[in-house]
Structure 1
């Protein structure tokens, strides 16, 4: 599941200046959507590129295929009903939901993305949200004196019918919404003026989408100098933490953890954006769980960054440097007796994670244990496949 962050910026939050500040912060932070009034859609388009949902408070919906101006005004990517209607309690809910004006609007305009905005005032509104989910691409639920139970109920009952968007006011509430029932809401709608809260909520979204890998240790059974090869340095557009690196290896089933060059050295200055990753033939793990050959990487590609506890994030490749350098062949044996190998440059600045801590490749000895990510699967064009492939 890919999570999303919506930021609320309609007229209930204040004047245009206040709304604009929310929108610009959402753009800068990397939020996915803003929820505004229909009259503000064109203003948002002028501020930057972000998906725009607009409240409809009456009249027909006349969305066009393109968000560009067709002479009748710039259009949103989705419309939302419920404001000043049944969804927020302005109009009483009908006894029979089939007579709902909000639901009728969604049904009438089913050829465009529509959303329902529902404040969970009591169990009847919870039931109304369930009915709206059958018609709406997005179902936005706002808790009143919020408890986790209504959100649990809605995730369980409508989680597969619609994109469920939970209203929150803090990043901490967003984290809870993404984790509820171990499934979580598809998105959150943040109602906050605080720029830091908006940024933290986007960080929570990113963390919720990331893998947590189970790293294990494998024993060094052989290490030897093997002459020169074309070595790849991967320079990213972001800085590494001291315990971060990448997973690389000659065999896709066993990728060795190689530290970024964050440590100071008497020989060369640190390069906290770089991983000296190995030879051109080696694999590197990518954020989608696939692999690429190091030789394939180009500026703008994404690679997976991993820390020694298995937490992951993504980084953009800024530059790839390929140079001929002397190499070590490092052979490892896993706890199951499988043998995997990789080539790493023969240099004191190349560090790997061992069971005793960070160590230079030049200091490795037979019997040392190196951290790696092991999965008993084959790869075809970087994708895991159920196939017998021998790598040696």
Structure 2
């Protein structure tokens, strides 16, 4: 779970009380301040952190502490940061280099360490980047906010991670072949795993896990960044329980990668390709008899996933085959879940 410490040392006195209140309200893990009166007033839910406990010698040379602050500006200080991150429960690191390469090195060095790495960030944009570096990201960030609004914005950023989904087994009921229609390939800025894809469906209450093109194809190389997702009218499930039509995705959009165990991660769309192709419709049912429908390109190389990550070519699907899907209880209005009556068929 990602966390944040709030640095109060540079907060203007006139805004200090509101920033502290915001940190408490948003359940920030820690507050950094060298004013003991401020720290003593914190509730027990917030960790009080002070730099006074770390001597200059410990900062630069020693690791005989529960925590350390390391300013990384050259190779020796980078080595110290790596050693601290491996050995100590908490390591706060401030990088002089504006690139994230030194952070990547520290993250790699401490990959199997139980300690927590906290990276000093200049602003919210840097915090967002730091939390995602090497896919793992820094365990925590240290931010000196200018006002309470930035504390609330940081809390929203920490909550933006995606939760796992409870996938369900669907049983294929029928396959229908159609003529030409417009389908969308979603080309992302990431590599998909072999059991990973995106959730797509014709109805807002049910989705099928569409496989990425990570598996070998005849006559062409694999495209591990692509999902041949379905007809342009289809819903695609994104972060925060939002949906988009496939026709709405484009360069810079965000959608949700999902694997066969339900783990999720947000991915950025590099482009969406809409082309006219023959189509087929998969109709499947869940154990509770919920009907799920998906229309895709009628081609062997288009694939969907079944339990255990089993790959199914859509043209070879038969009645009784099992697929992985996701059932949503909400209807949709402009992509937002809404509790209203709506029947789709």
TM range (shorter): 0.5 to 0.7
Report if aligned partners of 1:278, 1:342 keep a CA contact under 8 Å in 2: yes
**1:271 is the counterpart of 2:181:** no
Match in the other structure for 1:298 = 250
Match in the other structure for 1:153 = none
Q: CA RMSD in A?
A: 3.6
Match in the other structure for 2:178 = 226
Change (3 A) 1:5 1:237: farther
Structure 2 residue matching 1:298: 3-state secondary structure? coil
Q: For 1:255-266, what aligned pairs fall within 5 Å after superposition?
A: 255-266=207-218
Q: Distance in 2 between matches of 1:237 and 1:244?
A: 14
Report if aligned partners of 1:5, 1:190 keep a CA contact under 8 Å in 2: no
Q: Distance in 2 between matches of 1:291 and 1:353?
A: 20
Q: Distance in 2 between matches of 1:317 and 1:171?
A: 35
Q: Distance in 1 between matches of 2:333 and 2:88?
A: 41
Report if aligned partners of 1:190, 1:198 keep a CA contact under 8 Å in 2: no
Q: Distance in 2 between matches of 1:172 and 1:207?
A: 28
Report if aligned partners of 2:42, 2:48 keep a CA contact under 8 Å in 1: no
Q: Distance in 1 between matches of 2:91 and 2:205?
A: 40
Match in the other structure for 2:314 = 361
Report if aligned partners of 1:170, 1:192 keep a CA contact under 8 Å in 2: no
Q: Distance in 2 between matches of 1:142 and 1:251?
A: 54
Larger Rg over CA atoms: 1
**1:386 is the counterpart of 2:339:** yes
TM-score by length of 1: 0.57
Per the TM alignment, residue 377 of structure 1 is displaced from its structure 2 partner at its CA by 1.8
Report if aligned partners of 1:220, 1:370 keep a CA contact under 8 Å in 2: yes
Q: For 1:1-392, what aligned pairs fall within 5 Å after superposition?
A: 3-4=2-3, 55-56=9-10, 78=11, 105=13, 108-110=14-16, 113=19, 116-117=31-32, 129=39, 131-132=41-42, 141=49, 170=85, 190-191=92-93, 195=103, 196-198=105-107, 202=131, 203=136, 209-355=161-307, 357-392=310-345
Aligned residues: 256
Q: Distance in 1 between matches of 2:234 and 2:33?
A: 52
Per the TM alignment, residue 228 of structure 1 is displaced from its structure 2 partner at its CA by 1.5
Structure 2 residue matching 1:260: 3-state secondary structure? strand
TM-score by length of 2: 0.64
